[in-house]
Structure 1
Amino acid sequence: METHLFFAIFCAWICLSVPLEFCIAADSIRMDQSISHGETLVSSGQSFELGFFSPGSSKNRYLGIWYKNTPQTVVWVANRNNPIADSYGVLTIINNGALVLLNQSKSVIWSPNLSRVPENPVARLLETGNLVLRDSSNESSESYIWQSFDDPSDTMLPRMKVGWNLKTGLQQKLTSWRSADDPSLGDFSYRIDINVLPYVVLGVGSSKKVRSGPWNGLEFNGVLVLDYLVYKAVFVNNDDEFGPTKER
């Protein structure tokens, strides 16, 4: 008992003696905590990592998510069109509950649009590769104030959707990188377009390079449905959302 008490006191002393950001959970940050150059968040199962990186031969810095064991495979980028020109960058949650990426002059480089203001916000990197902002008292996915899965880059991960949120009008689509050294928005996109009936589009700029037939209630006409060994394709079609997703 005395040993356990001593250990608890020792741990508490350590957390009070060092800067706050070194005592946070490995997969999340809370109000006024931050990560900067050389620091990362790692999902609970060690599958994904979030931090700052420079792609290819570029000297610009970006905030991104990659596979922990394969760091060269970046699956999401926050500030795609607004890089940081030096090694200074900070991801933090400020007093109004907003998740922001700051540069050296404390200017906001990137910040997601929030559906509401969180009371006690926490940003957490999930084992799915999804970065979410929510109230710390509610872990339900229904309570997410924002999630990176709603703002995809060029990679579709399991449980991510490509389609439409019919309540908010949000379109979720994949967009290519400009080049291996530049993750800014490229020319190619993969999306669901809704006219009379929805259909899949591979776009080049504003034009439609390839498109499927319309959704007939079971499948897209003209698209061969395949059974994959790695993942299962699922199509969601209800009053709230419309579009394909995939599950492991």
Structure 2
Amino acid sequence: MQLDLTGKTALVTASTAGIGHGIAHGLAAAGARVVVNGRSQASVDAALATLRQALPNATLLGAAADLSDAAGVDTLLAALPAIDILVNNAGIFGPQDFFETDDGTWDHYWQTNVMSGVRLSRALLPGMVERGWGRVLFLSSESARNIPADMIHYGVTKTALLGLSRGLAKRVAGSGVTVNAVLPGPTLSDGFAAMMEDERARTGKSLEVLGREFVMANRPTSVIQRAATVEEVANMVVYLASPQASATSGAALRVDGGVVDDIV
């Protein structure tokens, strides 16, 4: 299967590192013109430099904007060309006990993880519908189905993305635009590496070994019994962004290694 996105323009939010950066790389490698987004110009410039070194023939643009509020989304929208593929990857996470999570924290997570995608989809979907082709993707999480007791505020936002993606898919039904959600599980991302930095220094173990140990200790239902790579998650997103995925819409596709223990 040859995935060719030549002639398409993609926006990947929060794509200066981690899964977002991997998705930007995958889309650019498939021929798409990719807009890289991050909260600071410095992080955007660094990500662009890394991508250009790996993919010297890629067409890449940068747009710095913090998507945690409406003003930041407006800043990003003002810098964009017409977008064919929207990957709503921006999100924050972190453990905190439910009884110690105040309204401000709930609102910050909701604005960043949910409303950034709402605002961008509301602005960019009509153009896709008018052109008769488009892809909107939401990066949810296995935590949407398997709410972590120590990150209820995070899990709730990821569950909301499943409802949002399904509803938008129905709203644009028959238009040639598809809308889907992708649910990664534990992934060897930059964020995971940062979380494990002290443990790596203490034990001398590789990130892959620590990822396997983390999965077996915290997600024992995993079928692959290891953390996924960023590239494995990105591969699913690139496929869903391609013309070959035209019959997949309104779906929640898991790249969780089988952590969620059901058959659907």
Q: State the TM-score, normalized to the length of structure 2.
A: 0.27
- Higher Cα Rg: structure 1 or 2? 1
Q: Which has the higher contact order (CA 8 A, sep 6+)?
A: 2
Which has more strand, going by share of residues? 1
Task: Select the structure that is richer in helix.
Answer: 2
